[in-house]
Structure 1
């Protein structure tokens, strides 16, 4: 990015889902576009203009995992949005260069289905190539480094209900 080009200062509105199974383990998917690193993430995505946050979370969950609203129970939403900044090398490359990071509202959802209900190819293009269930304490170690603080915050806020 040239020195003369203005850096974005706006945060992309986003939702995230901490989906937990009956064992209290959280769903993580391995991103198709980042196979070179052993990074896994919880479902998340942008909020469309005028879209209700809960509806956006359920939409993103179904698009990324094939898990529909009928298979989950929403337990909690973060009290405040959580922001993160993109690392310098990604600014201007993601989201058409419009955002400097994301402002996320997270939802804790209990998964009432089985692994057979997960369909990573439910949406074209798929975002994940694999999934697994992990203890919430392990989430921070699986995510890309610039999102670690977000995952710490989400796990801390939802820990009493997991």
Structure 2
């Protein structure tokens, strides 16, 4: 552990904005939020050593939603990485205290399947339930420390949704 949170690196991560044919975005309600917090998020997860961001995004999408790569088209990749810092009280509590937050590459994907193709009851289930929402609502659904990040992702991908 370092002496300062600022000395900790950011965890490499891939995020997925999954849009259905009507332009609505998939969000899942997180199972691990304390105190009954109604926190929703888009699928995301760590990039393994040696793994390409796109491969990580497709793997995470499947692990969290059951949606396989053949059911999506990748429409865009974020122009740059997006960063967020964990709140001070969470640093040291997750990711074995190795990271101060995440640096994320985001992908906009068009979902070609049906709602029946989505299965959040996966091996390492992260979501209690899921829904399709309008992109502008996303920043209001996410935990506060990720709000700016979600605003930036919506702005970057809005013309393509």
Does the CA contact (< 8 Å) of 2:85 and 2:101 recur in 1?
yes
**2:89 counterpart of 1:89:** yes
How far apart, in 2, do the equivalents of 1:88 and 1:6 lie?
11
Q: CA deviation at 1:121?
A: 1.6
TM-score by length of structure 1 reads 0.95
Tell me what 1:45 maps to.
Answer: 45
* Structure 2: runs of 5+ lacking an equivalent: none
How far apart, in 2, do the equivalents of 1:6 and 1:102 lie?
17
Q: CA deviation at 1:5?
A: 4.3
**Aligned partner of residue 79 in structure 1, secondary structure:** coil
Q: CA deviation at 1:6?
A: 3.9
How far apart, in 1, do the equivalents of 2:109 and 2:4 lie?
39
TM-score by length of structure 2 reads 0.95
How far apart, in 1, do the equivalents of 2:32 and 2:92 lie?
18
State which drifts further: 26-35 or 75-84: 26-35
State which drifts further: 35-44 or 54-63: 35-44
Q: Deviation above 4 Å: which 4+ runs of structure 1? A: none
Tell me what 2:143 maps to.
Answer: 144
Output aligned runs, 1:54-133, within 5 Å: 54-122=54-122, 124-133=123-132
CA RMSD of aligned residues (A): 1.4
* Structure 1: runs of 5+ lacking an equivalent: none
Q: CA deviation at 1:144?
A: 0.1
